[in-house]
Structures are given as structure tokens and as C-alpha cells.
Amino acid sequence: MATRFDPFRDIDRLTERLFASVGEAQQAMRAMPVDLYRSGDHFVLRCDLPGVDPGSIDVGVDGRMLTIRGQRSEASNDVEWLTQERATGTFARQLTLGPGVDLERIEATYTDGVLTLTLPVAEAAKPRRIEVVHGTSGAVTGSASSDSPALSS
């Protein structure tokens, strides 16, 4: 049996392990990229979670902190990896929600590897028109004196 020795491959593997802890935050963001936009009277947050077990997805709100967690399992351990670029393990993202979001009516769906959260705008934060009441100008009868308490200068 021939033994294969590739010093560059071993150096690459060692370097990857050394910098893995430094890049964990960046890896988590790459592992769960999000898009956020407003459409009418709600916000839409979309998270890419391909390959994540739908049963492992957990969405929760604590105060104004929205937390999204999901887990992608590692493939079988009895393989020899040639390239492994897809991150595995538990991923989490936290976002702070502003006071304009109705926390009680948040909805979540997971379809084709994309988690979609619908975040309704709170009634108090929605734009509204204020009706202007037109008054009638009435004639004042009686005599006016400089001692009138209604208006003073």
C-alpha cells in the first residue's frame, strides 16, 4: 500500500483549523444569509437554510430580540472528504425588532430551503390620516369690551 504525503494539503488543513474560530461569526452569516424588506403593512425576512432539517428550525422572540436557529447534519463519518465547503452544525441569527413590529402576529414558513418570516407592522406604527373637522363661523352677539376674559394679549 502506498502512502500519500502532500505537505501543502496538511498545511491548508492546519491553517483552516487555526482560523476556524476567528471566522465563526462570518461563517454563521454565510450559513444563514438574510434578505429583509417592507411590503405594504408588513416586513418580510427571508433566510437561506438549504439542507436544514425543518424539525430543527426554531424561531423565537424574547422581548424585542428575534432568534432563528437551525441545524444541518454532517454527512456520514465513514467518508474521505475531498472538499467540504458546506458548513454543518447549529446556526443562529439574532435580530433586534423595532417597536413598529406586531410581535403577536409573526408568521413563519419553510419552503424549498428558505425560511420566510412575515412581520406585521403594529397598528400604532401604521401611517394614518387625521380627519380635519370644518367648523362653522358663528356671529357673536352682544357687546365687546376691553375687559373680555376670553382672549388676552
Position with higher pLDDT, 31 vs 119: 119
pLDDT of residue 117: 96
Cα(38)–Cα(78) distance, integer angstroms? 46
Taking alpha carbons only, the member of 98, 109, 93 closest to residue 63 is 98
- Residue 149 has a CB neighbour count (10 Å cut-off) of 5
Domains (range + CATH), the chain: 7-75+85-125 (2.60.40.790)
When pLDDT is averaged across residues 133-142 and rounded to a whole number, the result is 69
Residue predicted with more confidence, 14 or 44: 44
Split at pLDDT 50, 70, 90, the class of 22 is: low
Q: How far apart are CA 140 and CA 137, in angstroms?
A: 9
Q: Is the dihedral of CA 79, 80, 82, 83 positive or negative?
A: positive
Residue 118 has pLDDT above 80, yes or no: yes
pLDDT digits (tens, 9 = 90+) for 61-115: 999 999 999 988 877 778 888 888 888 888 889 999 988 889 999 999 999 999 9
Nearest to 24 by CA among 108, 90, 118, 106: 90
Rounded mean pLDDT, 115-143: 78
Render pLDDT for 26-56 as a digit per residue (tens, 0 to 9): 554 456 889 999 998 899 999 999 888 899 9
